[in-house]
Structure 1
Amino acid sequence: MDAAEAVLCRVEGTGPEVRVSLLAHVSRPFTPDFTRRVLAANDARSLCELNFALGEHFAQAALEVIARAGLRPEDVDVIGSHGQTVAHLPASLSETPSTLQLGEPSVIAERTGLPVVSDFRTRDVAAGGQGAPLVPYLDWALFRKPGVARALQNIGGIGNVSVVSDRLEDTIAFDTGPGNMVMDGLARRITGGQLQCDLDGTLSRQGRVIPELLAELLAHPFLALPPPAAPAARASATRWSSGCGSAMAPRGPMM
């Protein structure tokens, strides 16, 4: 939750013959105040305002990446915007399966003049799916190799893996547990809020493995669940980072 990433790609072909080439990339940082605003949003008014504020931020990121590629908005066919997840509660976690991402697509469309595709997760949750991970089909199309099985691990806020082989129907994908959300939470806790993330792993490289703590983390019940499984992102990350910090304290200084 520290920046909006925008990528401009050329997509050629369809289905398993699709080819994707990168034209440009930008990272548009959130200010520390804006990041705190995203993390603190918990009532109807703040969520409503944040939805439009994120839409403005995403629209500017889209315009910046188009300009960086030396193109104009009219040269682009479509914008895909996932949005910022503020709640993800599939059937395994709620009697009312639901998911919510902010970053109003209508704002992006108005500012860029381009069609916008968004709300990637909602249809899968509505159909009884987990709504995550999002990219296994693309992973299969781009990274499959005859006779070879490949596992593609994405850390992300919540880690997920795609296992791809020759046949699409053999592809599986599932969440592997909290990722950057825990690391970011620990970075904030360790530095008293001075850092929002462990940039370039600077803090991590100063540390050492605590075998007992590692064993405790690996014993977490989520890791024993059969796939597919999607953790409650924010709740899991908060519990894990809080638990890690508390467990680390008696074992020595956190800096």
Structure 2
Amino acid sequence: MQPTRVIGLISGTSVDGIDAALVEIIGTELDLQVELLAGETYPYPDELRERILDICAGAAVSMAELAEIDDAIALVFAQAAQNIQVGHPPATLIGSHGQTVFHRPAGSCVSGNILPNPQSLGYSLQLGRGAVVARLTGITTISNFRVADIAVGGHGAPLVPRVDAYLLSHPQESRCIQNIGGIGNVTYIPPRCDDWLTQIRGWDTGPGNSLLDLAVQHFSNGAKNYDENGKWAASGTPCYPLVEQWLSQDYFHLPPPKSTGRELFGVTYLHQCLQDSQAYQLSPADVLATITELTAASIVNSYRAFLPRMPELVLLCGGGSRNLYLKHRLELLLESVAVLTTDEVGLSAAFKEAIAFAVLAYWRQLAIPGNLPAVTGADQEVVLGEIHQVGTG
């Protein structure tokens, strides 16, 4: 079987740029194999990034402005797809997740409230039109991955657990694949057995880098966008009473399936955290250490509350996997559970999410389902993504 070259594209909740992965894929499910040929993050132009962040924070936008931003994001995604191929044989398929600017799962927690009608369908909006990406690159593009799962009653998130299952499962070992992007999400994978797919669990654990990045920007007056290696936070002392107060937030106690985003853990939430911290007279480093502790504790607490048993191994990926202080806090809270990165088992931690959307696009062409109903809450398995053929718009 000849490998298929696919490009995966995604910009996550942190809105720090487009992660692009050029991969070769062979096999389908249990025999799935992926080789990363190239991976790169392409930053957004500053003005476009700020406009995206404004929209994510709830800024008013006209339909005309929204259309312009949609096209501008598609252009940057198309350029990333073109650039990642330089020096490599061309791809024949693109899986473009786009940029999420709003996510409201049915019956989930939005702005601290439970939606009044849990039977209503959720809503998720990703900008960066797949039709434009296909037209500009000349490559068939799959986009809008979340809507098919939402249409059958799912949250539309997280969508990577099925990919995680086939790329990172183990015959004897239970594993948690913990992505730490702007929002954290986990895939729990039991040892492979006859009905192992039905035992996989996954959900958004809560804030990943989103609050930390916003706090760093606040305390540095915009001079820094993130805390490199967690050094600033590591110089402070966590305020544990404040962590316990923040962990009482409703979202952390909702059982899966559940998903969240900047709609909850965004600017408004940070301002509340900063206000709460004033009572303890915390330094900026102390606040960062306390927010880091919230991120780590929310992850570990969710394992203890919602998993059938604790995993034997936790594999970190996403930008937060490079935060050494956060990793250290996770190791201490997880006690006897080993913590590695997916790099250490052969799958790029930096580009795993982009790789996942390349695989989902590949599965879409083969009409293989991409969701896991036990994870998203959907009524059934469905193929994910809308196909935009070259020249058809």
- The TM-score with structure 1 as length reference comes to 0.92
Matches within 5 A, 1:8-23: 8-23=22-37
Cα 1:134–1:37 change in 2 (3 A) is: same
Whether the 8 Å contact between 1:248 and 1:254 is mirrored in structure 2 is no
Contact 1:160 1:174 in 2 (8 A): yes
Task: Give 1:213 deviation, angstroms.
Answer: 1.4
Q: Do residues 187 (structure 1) and 216 (structure 2) align?
A: yes
Show the counterpart of 1:228. 257
Matching residue's letter, 1:98 = Y
Q: Equivalent residue for 1:89?
A: 104
Q: Is the 8 A contact 1:157 1:180 kept in 2?
A: yes
Q: Within 2, Cα distance between the matches of 1:236 and 1:252?
A: 21
The ranges of structure 1 where at least 4 consecutive aligned residues each deviate by more than 4 angstroms after the TM superposition are none
* 1:249 matched residue in structure 2: 278
- Contact 2:121–2:150 (Cα < 8 Å) also in 1: no
1-side partners of 2:261 and 2:182: how far apart? 11
**Greater RCO between the two (CA within 8 Å, min separation 6)?**
2
What is the aligned partner in structure 1 of residue 47 from structure 2? 33
Q: State yes or no: 1:101 paired with 2:126.
A: yes
117, 135, 155: which is aligned to 2:142? 117
Query: C-alpha distance in 2, partners of 1:164/1:66?
Result: 33
Contact 2:103 2:125 in 1 (8 A): yes
1:188 maps to a residue whose letter is Q
Q: Report the AA paired with residue 188 of structure 2.
A: V
- Which of these residues, 190, 205, 211, is aligned with residue 234 of structure 2? 205
The 2-side partners of 1:51 and 1:199 are apart by 31
Q: Would the alpha carbon gap of residues 31 and 248 (structure 1) be closer, same or farther in structure 2, given more than 3 Å must change?
A: farther
Secondary structure, counterpart of 1:84 in structure 2: strand
Provide, for residues 22-57 of structure 1, a one-character-per-residue CA deviation record: whole Å limited to 9, x for no partner.
100111112332221111233122221111100010
Please give the root-mean-square deviation of Cα atoms over the aligned residues, in Å. 1.7
Q: How far does residue 106 in structure 1 lie from its aligned partner after superposition?
A: 1.7
Q: How much has 1:61 moved relative to structure 2? A: 0.8
Distance 1:15 1:199 in 2: 37
Does 2:164 correspond to 1:139? yes
| Distance (whole Å) between structure 2 residues aligned to residue 114 and residue 242 of structure 1 | 43
CA distance in 2 between counterparts of 1:38 and 1:232 reads 14
Match of 1:71 in 2: 88
Q: How far is the alpha carbon of 1:189 from its aligned partner?
A: 1.7
> Which has the larger displacement, 184-193 or 107-116?
184-193
Query: What stretches of structure 2 of length at least 5 have no aligned partner?
Result: 1-14, 109-114, 286-393
Question: What fraction of aligned residue pairs are identical, expressed as a percent?
Answer: 34
Per-residue deviation at 1:216?
Answer: 1.4
Flag structure 1 segments of 5+ consecutive residues without an equivalent: none
Alignment partner, residue 363 of structure 2: none
Residue 96 of structure 1 and its aligned partner are, at CA, apart by 5.0
Does the 8 Å contact 2:185/2:206 carry over to 1?
A: yes
Cα distance in 2 between the residues matched to 1:202 and 1:33: 28
2:54 counterpart letter in structure 1: A
Q: TM-score, normalised by structure 2?
A: 0.61
Q: In the alignment, is the contact (CA less than 8 A) between 1:59 and 1:108 conserved in 2?
A: yes
Amino acid of the structure 2 residue aligned with 1:71: H
Return the letter of the residue paired with 1:180: N
Q: Shift in Å at residue 154 of structure 1?
A: 0.7
CA contact (8 A) 2:17 2:44 kept: yes
Aligned counterpart, 1:56:
75
